[in-house]
Amino acid sequence: MSRLLNGLVSALALSALAGTANAAPVSFTFNENIQLSSGGVDYLSDDGNYVLRATAWSEYGSPQLASCTACGIFVVTDGSSDNNVAIDGSGANEAVILELLGVSEGTLLSAAFRTIDNDDDFNLLVDGIEVLTDVSPGIGPIATYVFGVDQQFTGQEFRFLADSAEDDFKLWQVTFEIAEVPLPGTLALLGVALAGLGSLRRRTA
């Protein structure tokens, strides 16, 4: 391989890696006053660079998303025997679905909850797969759960689920490490470099 092409390919590979290695944590804070919404609500990240869509989910009935200032998002399920103003498992199991929009996926680093008491816990689903069950986020006005290294999952859709009558909480903030999926332009450039490499090999063969 020529030294020039070797260097070019290495540089491209390094720049592709740098996009993920240098990713700074990105937080979304659910501190707005939102009336009941049956559609999704889009939140801008605290740094203004990313969009997260929050949608209410319920085992049955008609789930709606809501939040209030200094309170966090929660689910109200019409048609349930119990429509607590929380993400709760009383009457019907409920969840908030968080979807990273655009060409990005994230690794969930931490989540902060409100109205937590000591019998509250959550399940986490990533891209539709339940990866954690009955996790207690701790106690406090804002209980922040930091996911351990073996609990850090990467995906595009994250679902916080309450699955028992005791579970009732609001989701206040989530923090991700966000990796940009390489843009088509970057891939095309890499393809050109590899094609060049192939033709050079054929010529010298």
Q: Where on the chain is the footprint of Ca ion (CB under 5 A)?
A: 75, 84, 88, 115, 117, 119-121, 134, 163-164, 166-168
Structure tokens at 51: 């969009």
| 100 membership: H or E segment, kind and range | strand 94-100
Q: How far is the CB of 61 from Ca ion (least distance, A)?
A: 10
Q: How far is the CB of 88 from Ca ion (least distance, A)?
A: 4
Q: Say if CB 93 and CB 77 are below 8 A apart.
A: no
**Closer Cβ to Ca ion, 30 or 167, answer by number:** 167
Q: How far is the CB of 172 from Ca ion (least distance, A)?
A: 13
Q: Say if CB 17 and CB 35 are below 8 A apart.
A: no
Number of H helices, E strands in the chain: 2, 15
**Closer Cβ to Ca ion, 47 or 82, answer by number:** 82
Q: How far is the CB of 99 from Ca ion (least distance, A)?
A: 20
Q: Which among 46, 51, 86 has a CA at the least distance from the CA of 68?
A: 86
Q: Say if CB 67 and CB 32 are below 8 A apart.
A: yes
**Closer Cβ to Ca ion, 126 or 178, answer by number:** 126
Cα–Cα dist 3/5, whole Å = 6
**Closer Cβ to Ca ion, 12 or 71, answer by number:** 71
